[in-house]
Structure 1
Amino acid sequence: MQMVTGSYSSEDVVFLLKDLSDASLEKKTDERERAIQQGVHYSEMLPVEYEPTKDYLTLFHDSLNTYKQKVAVAVGTVSELIIEKKGRDIVLVSLARAGTPIGILMKRYIKKTFGFSPPHYSVSIIRGRGIDENALLYMLHHHPGKRLVFIDGWTGKGAITKELTQSTHKFEKKHGIKLDDELAVLADPGYCSSLYGTREDFLIPNACLNSTVSGLVSRTVLNDQWMKETDFHGAKVYKELQDEDVSIHYIDVITDEFESAAPLIQEAVKTVKTSDRSPTWEGLKSINMIQNKYGLDDINLIKPGVGETTRVLLRRMPWKILVKDRQDPRLKHIFQLTKERGVPVEEFTEMSYTCCGLIKPLEQDR
């Protein structure tokens, strides 16, 4: 089985993903939207990966310049908490693909600060289908006695947090191996995790782009037509986009911030450690309010948080965007994207997120 390599160094991450670069899996946005809402699982197909426009790249570079220190502080904070809580005998397991750059940054921070480099893999987890069990077995076989630490970029509704818990329980029943299901995240605006760098809902720059900030790797795929039961979940590598690839640039820019951010990281660690980190699922309460107000039966049509709202504007067909505060300077790019796409913006002050994207059910004419 040929594995995905992507554009990252194998010293930064090893992808436990089957290479499906030759498979025809892409569908246009409207075709994909209709298929999803008619019951086809999103993991069986991929959105078309376009070359990023000048506007998207400008948005990425602007947000990177604005938030590079904030990202570095959050990476350092969650890394420090992981080492304190889980020890050094760990394997970093980032959830592809949004978790991959975060896992790389944590590995680099740990090496720089603690002087050792934990193994780091990127594996697939799919909502409604679970985590890749073949990948789990592979890591456990190659790193006996080490603790797997699962990593993602941010929380939204907490769907992946719940999926991870369900998957690890199922894995224990099937294989008799108990795994630590605590998900470590850079940002936890959904209040779904107790292990995070921040709970602020801000734009993590890698949410602006797709494969070109994720090692040229696609979203993960689980499609029986292209894989066997013993295979890892799959993904494609978009080598044709390598001229637009900013994956390494992103990692290097944040890594360069670690030294100057060190005092801020220590301060943030103290703040997080003295706060109540219990998950309250505050974000889900906001989602329920939005569901009731706008009559949306399917929770998956609601995309909460700045990262998810940005992605829905880039990848899907949003019906409207809700913002907590129209004057929030963190939402400049959201207003830019909504203007470009002609998507209405509505203020909704009661939610815990800074913004939220709503996808229109195709059968409804609103």
Structure 2
Amino acid sequence: MNKPIAKPDKMGSYRQEDVIFLLRDISNYQIEINSDEKERLIQSGTHYSEMLPVEYQPTEEYLNLFHNTLEQYSKRVAIAVGVVAEQIMERNGLENLVLVSLARAGTPIGILIKRYLAFKYQVDIPHYSISIIRGRGFDETAIDYIYDQHEQARIQFVDGWTGKGAITFELEKSCKAYNDSRGVILDPTLSVLADPGHCVSIYGTRDDFLIPSACLNSTVSGLVSRTVLNHDIMDENDFHGAKYYKELADADVSNLYVDTLATEFEHVQNEIMAELGRLRKEDTTPSWKGMKSVELIQERFGIQNRNFIKPGVGETTRVLLRRVPWKILVNPEQSNDLTHILMLAKERNVPIEEYKDMSYSCCGIIKEL
């Protein structure tokens, strides 16, 4: 690699020792579009990564719900973090390990895995957060930067949860293209906290439960927006972009979130080890069970475009926060807490329908305009 390596902008409200965002700050550009207009543009062919949604400003009631959820699920999330972190260590070892989280849902999870490994094994593992965009792949400039900083890097990709598995596919495709062009062997294995889609082999749980960070947008992700790839305002070979919403600092709970969860690690060691023991006896090969559920939903509701179906708690939340929902399907056979889904649906007048034939707790369906 002879070309000079680009340097990222200093981004986000997390501590520098927790994560380095490999992104270009595009805060000076106005590319936020309201949900209806954004939906119309996406459905008429504009790529979603070229614009940003207007950031949802939660009501006080909804913010209280986030804090209650964090209190209620902190132990469960901490166990899942430990289970993933131990598997990552077993698979890669700790020497030359570099955690690479997928911005932005993966970022707090990557921080927690890094914190867990520091707590348990007294190691300081480098952690970067990079952009990956459906249909456009990951940010190759960011990967170049990581290899420039850590020549022998054993990269482990990290995300928050799986939906249909689109990002698993995207990562595999991106790694193949990168390996072919750079002559390296970058491993596309993705690790996630929750894998309700059954599409990865390293996960904390396959339960479709609420990870509290899924409730909010930038204010739980270091005040960083969703990532952007728009060549009208960005250079072709530069990092992917994002906005840094400094003006939301008063509402920021990003550090509170990771600090709260990290204090649980010492209290849940027995549960982590028990869960790992159980996993070792299980076949963790992806069965893509979630995709079968999605195919059934597509057929049952006559949906033309599979991208309009967003299964799982995390993805359904995103539909309610960022898209124009048609309806929300709720599985009465899965007793997971969907209070925030019901609250958001009520706020936006979105109908809720009971539907059992899926491996998820719920599923958001985008309105065809």
Q: TM-score range by the shorter chain?
A: over 0.9
Query: Could you say if the C-alpha distance between residues 201 and 50 of structure 1 is closer, same or farther in structure 2, counting changes exceeding 3 Å?
Result: closer
Q: Structure 1 residue aligned with 2:50, among 44, 47, 51? A: 44
1:4 deviation in Å? 4.0
Structure 2 match to 1:21:
27
Mapped partners of 1:283, 1:336: distance in 2: 25
Q: Is the 8 A contact 2:194 2:205 kept in 1?
A: yes
Q: Is the 8 A contact 1:190 1:282 kept in 2?
A: yes
Q: Is the 8 A contact 2:293 2:358 kept in 1?
A: yes
The question of 1:308 aligning with 2:304 is answered no
Deviation by residue 1:299-356 (Cα, 9 ceiling, x = unmatched): 1101100111122112221111111107835122222222222211111111000100
Mapped partners of 2:333, 2:250: distance in 1: 36
Q: Is the 8 A contact 1:190 1:283 kept in 2?
A: yes
> Structure 2 stretches of 5 or more lacking a match?
1-6
Query: Could you say if the C-alpha distance between residues 217 and 325 of structure 1 is closer, same or farther in structure 2, counting changes exceeding 3 Å?
Result: same
Q: Which moved more, 1:221-230 or 1:243-252?
A: 221-230
Mapped partners of 2:46, 2:177: distance in 1: 24
Q: Structure 2 residue aligned with 1:31, among 17, 32, 37? A: 37
Q: Is the 8 A contact 1:157 1:283 kept in 2?
A: yes
Deviation by residue 1:80-110 (Cα, 9 ceiling, x = unmatched): 0010111112100000000000000000000
Instruction: Look up the equivalent residue of 1:245 and give its one-letter code.
Output: D
Instruction: Look up the equivalent residue of 1:293 and give its one-letter code.
Output: R
1:51 deviation in Å? 3.1
Instruction: Look up the equivalent residue of 1:230 and give its one-letter code.
Output: N
Mapped partners of 2:336, 2:216: distance in 1: 20
Instruction: Look up the equivalent residue of 2:191 and give its one-letter code.
Output: A
The question of 1:60 aligning with 2:66 is answered yes
Structure 1 match to 2:355:
348
Structure 2 match to 1:247:
254
Q: Structure 2 residue aligned with 1:121, among 118, 128, 131? A: 128
Mapped partners of 2:206, 2:56: distance in 1: 31
Q: Which moved more, 1:228-237 or 1:1-10?
A: 1-10
The question of 1:202 aligning with 2:219 is answered no
Mapped partners of 1:170, 1:59: distance in 2: 42
Mapped partners of 2:219, 2:233: distance in 1: 24
> Structure 1 stretches of 5 or more lacking a match?
none
Mapped partners of 1:168, 1:109: distance in 2: 27
Query: Could you say if the C-alpha distance between residues 152 and 329 of structure 1 is closer, same or farther in structure 2, counting changes exceeding 3 Å?
Result: closer
Mapped partners of 2:349, 2:239: distance in 1: 40
The question of 1:131 aligning with 2:167 is answered no
The question of 1:236 aligning with 2:243 is answered yes
- Counting only pairs closer than 5 Å after superposition, residues 69-80 of structure 1 correspond to structure 2 as 69-80=75-86
Q: Is the 8 A contact 1:4 1:236 kept in 2?
A: no
3-state SS, counterpart of residue 340 of structure 2: helix
Structure 2 match to 1:10:
16
Mapped partners of 2:61, 2:199: distance in 1: 32
Alignment: residue pair count: 362
1:138 deviation in Å? 0.8
Mapped partners of 1:240, 1:53: distance in 2: 17
Mapped partners of 2:201, 2:335: distance in 1: 27
1:52 deviation in Å? 2.6
Q: Is the 8 A contact 2:162 2:199 kept in 1?
A: yes
3-state SS, counterpart of residue 148 of structure 1: strand
- Counting only pairs closer than 5 Å after superposition, residues 180-329 of structure 1 correspond to structure 2 as 180-325=187-332, 328-329=335-336
Deviation by residue 1:215-239 (Cα, 9 ceiling, x = unmatched): 0000000000121122100000000
Deviation by residue 1:5-54 (Cα, 9 ceiling, x = unmatched): 21001100000000101011100110100000000000000001143321
Mapped partners of 2:139, 2:122: distance in 1: 30
Q: Is the 8 A contact 1:326 1:347 kept in 2?
A: no
- Return the TM-score normalized by structure 1: 0.97
Q: Is the 8 A contact 2:336 2:361 kept in 1?
A: no
Deviation by residue 1:178-217 (Cα, 9 ceiling, x = unmatched): 2110000011000000001110100100111000000000
The question of 1:159 aligning with 2:166 is answered yes
Mapped partners of 2:237, 2:45: distance in 1: 25
Instruction: Look up the equivalent residue of 1:75 and give its one-letter code.
Output: V
Mapped partners of 1:79, 1:102: distance in 2: 10
Mapped partners of 2:85, 2:8: distance in 1: 32
Mapped partners of 2:168, 2:10: distance in 1: 25
RMSD: 1.2
Mapped partners of 1:354, 1:86: distance in 2: 32
